[in-house]
């Protein structure tokens, strides 16, 4: 596990246990040798769409940012990039928003 996540456990007492698990999965799933969907099912017992809803909630949570700062910063950056592409019409099949 990344050091930020281990350190975050000491700091984020108020963060929901499920959100912590979501952030941990997001931080380590690539190194596990399984698909994210399989890891989510195994560890959380939820669908991938439920996982992404929780992940979206975690990205907006300041406790989550203290718990796993690198993961949350990466997710926030990706969200900004997606929004920029959508607004600028750079994405495949995207339309320019006026």
User: How far, in Å, CA of 65 to CA of 59, rounded?
Assistant: 7
In this prediction, residue 98 carries a pLDDT of 47
User: How far, in Å, CA of 4 to CA of 50, rounded?
Assistant: 25
In this prediction, residue 53 carries a pLDDT of 94
Rounded average pLDDT over 61-74: 93
Q: How many helices (H) and strands (E) does the chain have?
A: 6, 0
Contacts of 19 (CB under 8 A, 6+ apart): 54, 57, 58, 61, 64
pTM score, two decimals?
0.69
pLDDT over 50 at 7, yes or no:
no
Q: Across all residues in the chain, what is the average pLDDT?
A: 81
pLDDT in tens, 31-50: 888 899 999 999 999 999 99
In this prediction, residue 37 carries a pLDDT of 94
Domain parsing of the chain, residue ranges: 3-71
């Amino acid at each position: 596990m990344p050091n930020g996540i281990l350190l975050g456990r000491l700091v984020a007492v108020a963060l929901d246990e499920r959100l912590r698990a979501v952030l941990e999965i997001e931080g380590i799933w690539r190194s596990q040798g399984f698909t994210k969907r399989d890891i989510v099912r195994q560890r959380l017992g939820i669908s991938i769409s439920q996982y992404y809803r929780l992940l979206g909630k975690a990205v907006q949570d300041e406790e989550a940012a203290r718990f796993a700062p690198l993961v949350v910063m990466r997710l926030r950056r990706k969200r900004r990039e997606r929004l920029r592409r959508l607004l600028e019409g750079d994405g495949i099949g995207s339309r320019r928003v006026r």
